[in-house]
Structure 1
C-alpha cells in the first residue's frame, strides 16, 4: 500500500528535484520504483518506512546507452558511502565490496542494486534506471542470535535512531553533488572516489573502471591484459542480498 507523506507521522526532508513516494512496512522499494519508473519523473524516491531496515530506491534518467549508463551506479555508491560516513561515530570506516556491498568497520551493513528496462539493449539509451539501497538499521528479532552476531546494524554500531532517516536525506544531497562532479570533472572523478573505498586485494595493484563499468586490475610489473570484473554480471548476482529475507545477508 502506498502512503502519502502527509498521512504519516514522519516524512523525509528532501532537496528540490525529488518526489517522495512512501510505502508501508511490507513494501519493496526497489520493485515498486521499477514498476513506476516509466511514468515517474527522475528524482522520484520510493521509501519503505520501517525500523529494522533503511530501504529506499531512486529513479534516474540517463542520457547515454545502457552499456555506459550503468556507471551511474558508482555515483550512487559514492553518495551512499558519504551519507553513512557523515552520520557515523568518529574514526569508523565505510568500505565497499565489488561492486555493490557496503561494509562498516568490516561488517556487512547492506548494499545497493541497479535496475533498468528488461527490453533495453546495451546500445539503447534506457528510459530509466533505478538505484536501490537496503541497509540493516537494527538487529532483526526473527534472526537466531548466533547468526545475528555475524552481522552489523546501524544501531548496534553507535548510530542514533534519528540517523536512519537522516542518511536517506543526506544521500539525496550527496547524489546531486556526485552527478555535478561527474559533469564538471568527468567520470574519472567518480571512479577515483569509488575506488578509494574499495580495498585492494594485493599491494601495488592498479585499478580503474572501464567505460562499461567493469573493474580493471593490473600489477605495476605486469605486461598482460588487466584482470576484468564485469559490473553487469556482479549486479545480476547481488551477492550481499538475501532474497528470502529480503534484506542483507549476515557475515
Structure 2
C-alpha cells in the first residue's frame, strides 16, 4: 500500500480552516504536532505521516473552555474518524469504537485516537491548544504472518483503497468541521449521540450517555448505573503500544 505517492501539502483539498502538512517518514506525528502547537502553530494545522505501516494524522485545535470540558473534543475527533473510515470501507461492515478511543473494523483493532494538551495546564484553565490525532494500521506486512496478530487488522487486509492517506485526511477534516458545527449549534449532547452510535456497549448495558465532564455513564437496569471516567483512558490509550508508540498489533 503506497501511502504518499509524490504527495505535497498543496495536494490536500481541505476545508478553509485547515492547513495540510506532510511529515517526514518515520516521524512521531502526534508528538511533532504537539510540539508545533506549543510553538504557536495555527489551529487547523493538519499533519499527515507514516511510520512502520501505521498511518497517523493529527490536527491542532483551539479550545475555548477549561481543560476539564475541552477534552470532550476527543468525541468530535473519534466521530469524524469513524465516519471518514466508514466512507471508504465495505458498507456492510460497521466502524465500532471501544470506550473511549479504540477503533475496530471487522471485529479487530484497526487503530485509535488520542488527545494531547499542554503539560502543566490545570483542569480549570483554558489550554492554549489541544491536539487530536488518529493512528491506523495501514499494512501489517512488516509484522509477518497475520495469524500471529489476530486481534488487529489493517486497511490493506480489509480491502480499503490503496493510496488512502490523502482522501482519508480530507474526509476526516470535513467531518471534524461538521462535528464542531453540531456541538456549537445543537449542543454537546447531539454530538455525543453521534459518537455513541459507534460505541460498543458492554454486555447487559441498556443505555449509554456521555455526561457533561466527558465520562461515560452506563445504565444496566433502573437505578443501576456505572460511570467510566475519561481522563485515565486518555493518559494511556488502550490501543497504543507503549514500547512502539503506535497501534498494538
Q: Taking structure 2 as the reference length, what is the TM-score of the superposition?
A: 0.91
Query: How far apart in 1 are the matches of 2:214 and 2:247?
Result: 23
**Tell me, which stretches of 5 or more residues in structure 2 are unaligned?**
none
Judged with a 3 Å threshold, the aligned counterparts in structure 2 of structure 1 residues 136 and 186 are, in CA distance, closer, same or farther, namely: same
CA contact (8 A) 1:29 1:46 kept: yes
CA-CA distance at 1:149 after TM superposition: 4.0
Task: Between 13-22 and 191-200, report the one with greater CA deviation.
Answer: 13-22
Query: How far apart in 1 are the matches of 2:97 and 2:129?
Result: 25
- Equivalent residues in 2 for 1:16-165, closer than 5 Å: 16-38=16-38, 39-49=40-50, 52-143=53-144, 145-165=146-166
Q: Give the match's secondary structure for 1:162.
A: coil
Q: Give the match's secondary structure for 2:221.
A: coil
CA-CA distance at 1:245 after TM superposition: 2.7
Query: How far apart in 2 are the matches of 1:218 and 1:197?
Result: 17
CA-CA distance at 1:19 after TM superposition: 1.4
Task: Report the counterpart of residue 10 of structure 1 in structure 2.
Answer: 7
- Equivalent residues in 2 for 1:228-243, closer than 5 Å: 228-243=227-242
Q: Taking structure 1 as the reference length, what is the TM-score of the superposition?
A: 0.90
- Superposed CA RMSD in Å reads 1.7
Query: How far apart in 1 are the matches of 2:54 and 2:13?
Result: 18
How many residue pairs are counted as aligned between the two chains?
241
CA-CA distance at 1:166 after TM superposition: 1.3
Task: Report the counterpart of residue 3 of structure 1 in structure 2.
Answer: none
**Tell me, which stretches of 5 or more residues in structure 1 are unaligned?**
1-7
CA contact (8 A) 2:15 2:174 kept: yes
Moved over 6 A (4+): none
Judged with a 3 Å threshold, the aligned counterparts in structure 2 of structure 1 residues 158 and 66 are, in CA distance, closer, same or farther, namely: same
Q: Give the match's secondary structure for 2:163.
A: helix
